[in-house]
Amino acid sequence: MEGMGEGSSASRKRREEIDGLLSGTFNSILRIEEQSLDNRLTHGLTITEVHTIVAIGLHERNPMNVVAARLNVTLATLTTAVSKLANKGFVERTRAEDDRRKVLVSLTKKGRQVLRAHNLFHHQMIDEALADLSEEEERVFAEALSKVKAFFDAQA
């Protein structure tokens, strides 16, 4: 019976460690992302604005509700964000030809440059972060992380 108590204590300790690792990793990624905004393409943008640009998509013209759903924000929140990005020259709004009430949003050349820079940043960050993992470790990590992500997605 003593082994059971030790096992649950070890399990509890490991789970506390995982909690710290998840929180710490999330915070580190946000900090690194925010630091990456200090370049000529993204200067003056917030991380939220960059994520809005990413949600709009590279060569897409999406209805506002589609982009809002991708970001999991209200249409009112997205409208405010898109207005700011349009004023800064990263986004343009047009009316759908089939339904003039529908507003479509797309990136300008300046917005596409930000998206490409952000994607490159993420590719480099992941390449560097996973560089010391074997192919098998990377596979197991991806499988485990997808299960953890599915849990958190279900909570949202």
Per-residue pLDDT 10s for the chain (156 aa) are: 444 445 689 999 999 999 999 999 989 988 888 887 777 777 788 889 999 999 999 888 999 999 999 999 999 999 999 999 999 999 999 998 888 888 999 999 999 999 998 899 899 999 999 999 999 999 999 999 999 989 988 886
- Yes or no: is domain 37-155 CATH 3.40.50.300? no
- Contact between 116 and 70 under an 8 Å Cβ cutoff? The reply is no
At 26, is the secondary structure helix, strand, or coil?
Answer: helix
Backbone angles phi, psi at 20, to 5 degrees: -65, -40
Beta bridge partners of residue 50, listed in sequence order: none
Beta strand 91-95 with 62-63 is unpaired
Tokens of 53: 């640009």
The model's pTM is 0.76
Domain residue ranges in the chain: 37-155
Q: What is the DSSP letter of 148?
A: H
